[in-house]
Structure 1
Amino acid sequence: MKKIVVTIIAIAALFSVSIAQTQETQKLFEDSYIKKTMKTALDWQLHHPKHKLYDWTNGAFYAGVFAAYETLDDKNIYNAIEAMGEANRWKPGPRLHHADDHVICQTYIDMYRVSGERKMIRPFIETLDEFMATPYETGGIRKITWWWCDALFMAPPAFVKLGITLDEEKYLKLSDKLWKETYDLLYDQEEHLYARDVNYKLDEPGIEPRTEANGEKIFWSRGNGWVMGGLVRVLEELPADWPTRDFYIQNYKEMAARVASLQQEDGLWRASLLDPESYPGGEASGSGFFTYALAWGINNGILDKGKYLPVVEKAWIGLNSLIQPDGRVGWVQPIGADPRKNFSADSWEVYGTGAFLLAGSEVIKLDE
């Protein structure tokens, strides 16, 4: 009899733990919790600035900051973005053709759409017109203008946003042309992922093949996260009847299916997508961008909710496990051109916070 009582008590204890865990998980999806966590992460990052304000790192961060402004409807966030723009004099970075120096302009355009102040977009209009009038000099691995996959988050959404805002198709057509060049150069039709650049393509003449320890091709989580983020930000802007929209939809759906299949048990993705065993621990920035992009697809009726909602929910739970007690987004892979292993709970970067804020801005809409 005593053994039976002990067994019953043990089962009851396990059941209580299970209920508590379920309640804790459900809390992660409550609007109040998502908003509070976004605000805490945002406040921490704003108090720990890094890099030049026009830098690509901050371009990704402020994309998330503006998403947080829309989600939280907080005038203080708007003021923080405006202060950044004023400090930059609303200019892109100094490199004319470099996509990294255009990403901050996504936020300038978003701000212009709110305020109507032309000064917020005038420098970017001037830059793009000069861009179009100035031939790009190729050489080495720079075979095309956007020769690395991250560029597809940096520049195309800015180009397309400007074109839609000004009703100028020339900017949309330019983005289409340059994206297709990158697609033709770097997209792997078998894996449905983008190589970081030609150095990671096994079939590129004159390039010494690089593979992971398990013999698989090298596909960087964050690099492909940037691409998926770029895809949804372009699709969010393009008119339904735009001639190339179906191309982006197809590319997005292929990548979404492949990325979902590579999610790990903890809900996160590893720094290297095809060799997770060599890269233990989930990586915040790549995982954040994947969560953002997949949730956006559900919210906009492009991805099947029954198939992808469990992926996004698992990912959001995983992302929240990376938030440190002070609000810092930890486990962010540092700056680099390939998968890295040297990051931990103490590792942070502004783009990791940007990715988290973007993810939260779409996860909160899942039940709308």
Structure 2
Amino acid sequence: MIHSLAKQIAAASLVATALSAALNAQESKFERVPNYSVPYEYPEVDDIKATLDRVRAYYDSTSSRGIIDRESGEVINDFSTPNKNARVAPGFASEWSYTNGVVLSAFEYIHDVTSDESYLANSSEFFDLVASTFPYFEKNREAFGSDVRGWGRMPNYHALDDCGSITAAMIKTYLKNGNKDYLPIIKNTADYISHKQLRLEDGTLARHRPQYVSIWADDIYMSVPFLANMGKLTGDTSYYDDAIRQILQMAERLYVPEKELFDHGWSITSGDYDPRFFWGRANGWTIMSMVEVLEVVPEGHPGRDEVMHLYRSMVRSLAGLQSGSGFWHNMLDKTDTYLETSCTAMFTFAIAKGINEGWINHVYGPVALTGWNAVNTRILEDGAVDGTCEATTFAHDNTYYYNRGASIHATHGYGPTLYAGAEMIRLLQNEKLKVDKARPGAVNSTYHYKLKSEWPEE
């Protein structure tokens, strides 16, 4: 009996030895230590600030920020005599445009976060130039006709794109530098958005494009930040009412509860059966607008809680849709579309902001962290921001959305990237949080953001 048992043990030992040798001889196709496509690391405040400085330097380098003669190329300093060839010097940093509005708002925000006065100086320099030369361009139009170019379409706006985002940035700068020359431009934009822009019967802002009556998710950002900041500037709470109304009534047509996302657009003719396309940047515009309202509009104001619910719901959905690289896809629910920079920066900012303000739980910290790490890989050595989807209309086919181009020339990525970096600095400096950091080279290690007040003192 004992002899038989010994034989069984010996046989089992031989089998185990053979199996071990066979396993060791095999070459695994997998690695035990994760191989992250984007660095899974904890950034430093100084590194982020240096990155923001680099992005700003590149952005500013695209333009001389001045008025030139378009034929001779010479700088115009004498604004007493009309000149039909006068134009704003070309370049990203000289545009009276919604994308430059995001950049200038981000500059103002970076000044808040870092106390770097040069960022506020950037915004003041631009808006001072606009305010001081706007009357000159008006003289040129009187002398040579309405086709003479100036600061975009100012003062005869055709769409929210022409004025909302950029004038919101002007208000923010005015609240710091007090340049009263800005006020006529601010009031002109307020008049356009409140009284001249197309609206539905219930007051929802709309366009005659591409269908005769259409609503764009983009227009939430093209109007709401201005309206919210106009309320802050004037103390007139009707602007807060309109800002909240735009979000909630746009949501009635565009927000899809099952997805917790916004459809890019809606047309009155297609109504309840309008096709749905969940474009990344459209959702980015939407959530950034919600952040603006939640920050500016006082707690308890009617409708603010509903905006908070939409914001929190979107964050929940976005966390699950983030790719394993930290990016989000150009079409959020289509994983075979490319990984896009501007929406990734927008969501990173909005989520980090929510944690810092206490609007959402701190457990979302790694979503913001990995989002920033992803965006950081798209910032080139010279500060250009790559991988941003080009300007995109409200379309009705996936083929169009799937094949959108992306480049450093799509200026929609610069402002969100600056905003995301600034908010990540705040998150890194958030004294209410403790972060258990992932260990480099570990088989199983991640980031855990913890609220210090929930844990007993060590």
Alignment check: 8 A CA contact 1:93 1:102 kept: no
CA distance in structure 2 between the aligned counterparts of 1:264 and 1:117, rounded to whole angstroms: 45
**TM-score for the superposition, normalised by structure 1:** 0.82
2:181 partner letter: K
Structure 1 residue identity aligned to 2:293: V
CA contact (8 A) 1:195 1:218 kept: yes
- CA-to-partner distance for each residue in 1:20-68, whole Å, 9 max, x for gaps? x98x823xx2111110001101111111233862211212222222223
- Alignment equivalent of 2:46, drawn from 21, 28, 32: 32
Q: Distance in 2 between matches of 1:58 and 1:176?
A: 24
Change (3 A) 1:17 1:240: closer
- The structure that is strand-richer by fraction is 2
2:127 corresponding residue in structure 1: 85
Q: Which stretch has the larger CA shift, 312-321 or 44-53? A: 44-53
Are the equivalent residues in 1 in contact too, given 2:155–2:188 (CA < 8 A)?
no
Equivalent position of 1:300 in the other structure: 357
Q: Select which of 337, 341, 354 maps to 2:415.
A: 354
Partner of 1:44: 58
Alignment of 1:176-325 (within 5 A): 176-198=244-266, 204=272, 209=275, 217-277=276-336, 279-280=337-338, 282-306=339-363, 308-325=364-381
Deviations 1:207-257 (A, max 9, x none): 5x4xxxxxxx42000110111111101110010121111011001011111
1:173 is the counterpart of 2:173? no
Shift of 1:203: 6.2
Distance 1:130 1:42, change over 3 A: closer
Inter-CA distance 133–201: structure 2 relative to 1 (3 Å threshold) = closer
Task: Name the structure 2 match of 1:115.
Answer: 177
Matched with 2:106 is 64
Aligned to 1:334: 390
Ranges in structure 2 where 5+ consecutive residues have no aligned partner:
1-23, 25-30, 63-90, 135-152, 201-207, 396-400, 431-458
Q: Secondary structure at the match of 1:323?
A: coil
Cα deviation code 1:267-298 (max 9, x no counterpart): 00010011121x13x21101000000000000
Q: How many residues align?
A: 336
Shift >4 Å, 4+ stretches: 14-18, 90-97, 137-140, 199-203
- Tell me the equivalent position of 1:212: none
Aligned CA distance change for structure 1 residues 133 and 148 (closer, same or farther; 3 Å): closer
CA 1:340–1:43: 2 relative to 1, 3 Å = farther
Aligned equivalent of 2:190: 128
Contact kept? 1:55, 1:93, Cα under 8 Å:
no
Deviates more, 1:240-249 or 1:348-357: 348-357
* Identity, % of aligned positions: 23
Letter in structure 2 aligned against 1:336? T
Equivalent residues of 1:61, 1:352 under 8 A apart: no
Change (3 A) 1:270 1:301: same
DSSP-derived class of the 2:355 partner: helix
CA RMSD of aligned residues (A): 3.0
Question: Contact 2:107 / 2:123 at 8 angstroms: preserved in 1?
Answer: yes
Give CA deviations for 1:5-33 in whole Å, capped at 9, x if unaligned: xx9xxxxxx99999xx98x823xx21111
Aligned equivalents of 1:342, 1:328: Cα separation in 2: 19
Supply the distance in 2 between the matched residues of 1:335 and 1:134 (Cα, whole angstroms): 25
Following superposition, the deviation at residue 173 of structure 1 comes to 1.8
Q: Give, in whole Å, the separation in 1 of the partners of 2:263 and 2:32.
A: 46
Higher share in helix: 1
- For 2:422 and 2:269, locate their aligned partners in 1 and report how far apart those are by CA, in whole Å: 34
Other structure's SS at 1:198 match: strand
Q: Which amino acid aligns with 1:268?
A: F
